[in-house]
Structure formats: C-alpha cells, structure tokens
Amino acid sequence: MKHFLFLLLCLSLIACSPSTPPIEKNVDVVLVGGGIMSATLGTLLKELAPDSSIEIYERLGTVAAESSAAMNNAGTGHSAFCELNYTPERSDGSIDTKKAVEINESFELSKQFWAYQVQQKVLPDPAAFINNVPHMSFVWGDDNIRYLKKRHATLTQEPLFKGMEYSEDPVKLKEWIPLVMEGRDPHQKVAATRMELGTDVNFGSVTEGLFKSLISQPSVNLNLRHEVRDLKRNEDMSWTVVVRDLGSETTRAVKAKFVFIGAGGGALKLLQKSGIPEANGYGGVPVGGEWLVTSNPELIAKHQAKVYGMASVGSPPMSVPHLDTRVINGKKALLFGPFATFSTKYLKNGSWWDLPRALNRHNLIPMIRAGLDNIPLTRYLISQLLLSDDERVASLREYLPNAKKDDWKLEIAGQRVQIVKKDKEHGGILQFGTEVVTSEDGTMSALLGASPGASTAAPIMLKLVEKSFKDRLQTTEWQNKIRQIFPSYGYRLNEDIALANKTRQWSSSLLKLKFIKVESTASPKQAFNQ
C-alpha cells in the first residue's frame, strides 16, 4: 500500500510540474527587464554586432517603470563630488579618495556613452535627460567641518576634482544655497563644498530614448507584459528562456546564446533559477524609500543644487540625507530624503513573497550572519518606519530651517535590494553598490545591487561585455567601435589630464554641460578619434 501511495505522489508531482513549452525562436541575446541596464547593454551590443537578434522582456506595461523611473531615484549623476560616504576617513585621520576617483571615472564613461548616442541621434536633446546642477556637501559641527575641509583639500589634489570650492563664510553660502541659509541660527557653524560640474539625470528619459532607438532596428523586439518564469541551460551551453505572456496568459520559450538579467530587485530570483554555481551564496535585503516633495514654485526657484549631508552616527551609508533640485520633463522640482521603508518586496510592483522565496540553503546562513553584523541597519530601518510626519519635517528643517509642513508631501520612491553575499570570515556580508554575476562560460550575467547603479550603467555594461564577449572584443572591429563610443577606454582619466580635458570637453559639448579645463602640459596618451 505504501508503495502504491508513493507512486501516486510521484505521479501527482510530475503532473503538477510545469513542462517546458516548445522553442518558438532562436535569438542571440535575451534581455530581462526594461530598465536602464538592459537598454544600455542592448544598445551597446547592437552597435558592436549590428546583425545580432535581441529579445527584451518586461513584465510591466512600459519600460523604465521601476528603479529607472525619474521619481524612483535621486537623479544624481553620481560622480563623488558631494557623496561623503565615498571618501571615508582612515584611522590615521587621512582621507581615502580611491572610491571617489573610481566613481568619477565611471561617470565620465557614462557621459561619453550618452554623448555618443546624442551624436548618433539615438538620444534626443540632452536637456531632456541631463542638466548641470551644482553638487554640494553641507555639514555643521566642529568635527564634521574639520572632516569636510580635509576632504576638500585632499580631493582637489586629484585632477578630476579640480574646481571644487570650499567655504565656511555665511555670506558665500547664502549666495550658493539661499534657501538652506534662510532662517538659520547665525551662531551655528556650517561649511560646504560646491562643484559646478555636478549633474541631475533623468534616467527614465535615457532608458526610454535608448529603447525607442533599439526597437527601431532589425531583429530587436520589446515584449511588454511578459514575465520570464524560468531559465534552463541546454547541452550546447545556450539557454531556454520560459516566458509568460501576462496578456494572453500563454507560455512560450525562446532559445538564446546569451542572457542578461537586468530586472532590478527581481534579478536575484531569476539568477537563482538559472542554477549557475556563481549564484550560490547571494541574498538580498529589500529597502524602499520615500521623498518629501514640494510643488511650491517660490521654494523651487530659490534652490539650485544637490545638497548632500552626513549620515547620522551609527546609520548606514544609504541613509545620507540630501536636498535635491530635479529637472523632470523640462520642469524643476525639489525633494528631500530619502526616508527608508521596508517590505519583503524586491520590486515596487513586486510580491510580498519575494524575500521568503529568495531564501535557500546557499544563502540562508549568509543572510543571518549579515543581519547579525548589521544591527545598526535594523535599528535604522525600524526608526525610519516609526517616523511621524512631524518628525520627517523636523529632519527637513535641519536643511531648510523655515520649512513649512503644508508645502511638502510624502511620495513613494523606488525599491532597492542591497546585496548579501557569502564571506569566509564573517559567513555573510552586506555589500553596498552593484555587482555583476557572470557564469564561467560567459553565457549568463545578472546585475545585483543598487547605487550608484544607473549613473554607472555604461561602464558596468562595458565590463560585462569584457567578461561575456572577451574573444569578440579582441577583434579589430570591436576594438575600434568601443573606442568610438568610449574615447578614454583602457585609460585612467585621473592619471592623464590631457586626455581627461579632451574627453570631458567633447562629451560636455555634446551634452551641453559645463566644462572646466585642468591645466596640463602633457599630451594625451591615446589618439582621440572623435
């Protein structure tokens, strides 16, 4: 009897297991997700290999609806001008600029990519997606002022940070940020740095522009309201991608030589479904955000800067408050935050089961260990969830002393997933930033993580190409094309002032941005072909 029951159970499991539908078509590339990462990679691959066939799957009804959407991120062109967490103070009191220089060089590559797209008429008028907004750091208190002054002195020794200004003078600060200084205690000691080269970027507009051009090309299809349900490796090292059409409620499959999972917070679950060993040990902590936003034209007109402050003692880097000028669809806005939220969703339009379903035997211990090692993050999230409207406005008044509650409303921003990964020493660590996970054979890649994400989409996808298409990248044809798109490819701009000046001048001219020339007597190490 027991054997009979066991046989029935096996048969029922087989009957309930979804079968893989027949292959509908064969393609070179499948891009999962309709955000800026997929748009950037698709554009780059189509330029390198014009004959390639690409299928794009987005489960929502439009592209750029999750983290890439304008109000789902801060719109900061992350270049380390104002973000204090990129320049930590060492134990000996010196300032570590390594991360700041890396991020600045990465953003320069993004600017080169966008400039090339403008030059090729792929992206529209640059004012529709990128505008100069000064980047500022603003602090108060003796210790913070001492740190900021030292940071400025150290950073301005780096060529890419030449032109950054520093002041403790209330008169000068009132000229830079009148709204921030209005109503402030005249006895309070404050200081700020300012960089005119800072930018505000509408990543949603960039994404939409890239996709619009991409799908106008042969052998490229964008499938909206299509959800990738499964990924299976084939014997020939290709992939069968199982897709559900959410409109017709039908399931089909395509065969792809290469798959990129750029589904934002949803990338982790699909990466796990792929079964590649490189995915083992990865987990994710979902963190959402909210902004205080004003539509008061008088306030918006008085502020023209992205002002980043210091995170509170014991709080994580993601908690850095900032008061941002935004330019969205040609209209200025002003927002403050972010205030953290928490849910078990990995996407703004995700499922409450996202986090539980992503737990498995490979990442459960790393997730637990990372949680135990990041108690301040847990406390911070709890404190943020308990904030009242009055407490949020009180936080705003540290930056805008005269802020009135009635001028501001709370708006929900996007959902992020911070990476948790296995670690030999700690068991598991919480990692900030982004990471590309690639299979050993290069046929599968996924992007995990968050900020500075979108700002560095171009260099991140360039590195992915180096990993997954390394043989083709060595060809003369691909090398020449890459250097057209990225004139500084293979060189460190911070170490070649002449090349930095030339590339910055070129990209700034096309993007209609400000340019500051750094004095240098050297010649560029690379021929500039633009």
pLDDT confidence of 449, banded at 50, 70, 90?
confident
Averaged pLDDT for residues 15-25 = 71
Q: What is the pLDDT of residue 3?
A: 46
Classify each residue of 49-59 as buried b or exposed e, where b means 16 or more C-beta atoms within 10 Å of its C-beta: beebbbbbbbb
Counted domains in the chain: 1
Averaged pLDDT for residues 310-314 = 69
Read out DSSP for 207-274? HHHHHHHHTTSTTEEEEETEEEEEEEE-TTS-EEEEEEETTTTEEEEEEEEEEEE--GGGHHHHHHHH
Asked whether residue 403 carries a pLDDT value surpassing 50, the answer given is: yes
3-state SS, one letter per residue, for 25-90: EEEEEEEECCCHHHHHHHHHHHHHCCCCCEEEEECCCCCCCCCCCHHHCCCECCCCCCCHHHCCEC
19-28, 171-180, 189-198, 227-236: the lowest-pLDDT one:
19-28
Name the strand (E) or helix (H) holding 413: strand 408-423
Asked whether residue 352 carries a pLDDT value surpassing 90, the answer given is: no
Distance of CA 236 to the CA centre of its chain: 34
Q: What is the mean pLDDT of the chain?
A: 89
| Residue with more model confidence, 166 or 124 | 166
Question: How much is the pTM?
Answer: 0.91
Asked whether residue 6 carries a pLDDT value surpassing 50, the answer given is: no
Averaged pLDDT for residues 504-524 = 87
Three-state SS for 317? helix
Q: What is the pLDDT of residue 255?
A: 97
**Does some domain include residue 364?**
yes
Q: What is the pLDDT of residue 14?
A: 42
Asked whether residue 15 carries a pLDDT value surpassing 60, the answer given is: no
Distance of CA 194 to the CA centre of its chain: 23
**Does some domain include residue 366?**
yes
- Reported as a single tens digit per residue, the pLDDT across 75-118 is 899 999 999 999 999 999 999 999 999 999 999 999 999 999 99
**Does some domain include residue 321?**
yes
Q: What is the pLDDT of residue 318?
A: 58
Averaged pLDDT for residues 212-236 = 96
14-28, 50-64, 136-150, 386-400: the lowest-pLDDT one:
14-28
Read out DSSP for 170-209? HHHHHHH-HHHHTT--TTS-EEEEEETT-EEE-HHHHHHH
117-126, 231-240, 306-315, 460-469: the lowest-pLDDT one:
306-315
pLDDT confidence of 344, banded at 50, 70, 90?
confident
Asked whether residue 122 carries a pLDDT value surpassing 80, the answer given is: yes
Contact 34, 60 (CB under 8 A): yes
**Does some domain include residue 114?**
no
**Does some domain include residue 56?**
no
- Reported as a single tens digit per residue, the pLDDT across 247-292 is 999 999 999 999 999 988 888 899 999 999 998 988 888 888 889 9
DSSP state of 519: P
pLDDT confidence of 9, banded at 50, 70, 90?
very low
% of the chain surpassing 90 pLDDT: 66
**Does some domain include residue 206?**
no
- CA–CA separation, 388 and 393 (whole Å): 9
% of the chain surpassing 70 pLDDT: 93
Contact 63, 226 (CB under 8 A): no
DSSP state of 346: S
| 54-58 and 130-132 strand pairing | unpaired
| Residue with more model confidence, 288 or 169 | 169
pLDDT confidence of 422, banded at 50, 70, 90?
confident
> Which of 25, 66, 69 has the alpha carbon at shortest distance from 220?
25
Averaged pLDDT for residues 335-355 = 83
pLDDT confidence of 8, banded at 50, 70, 90?
very low
What is the residue range of 308's domain? 283-434
Averaged pLDDT for residues 176-203 = 96
**Does some domain include residue 135?**
no
- CA–CA separation, 416 and 340 (whole Å): 10
Contact 103, 86 (CB under 8 A): yes
- Reported as a single tens digit per residue, the pLDDT across 427-437 is 777 777 788 99
**Does some domain include residue 426?**
yes
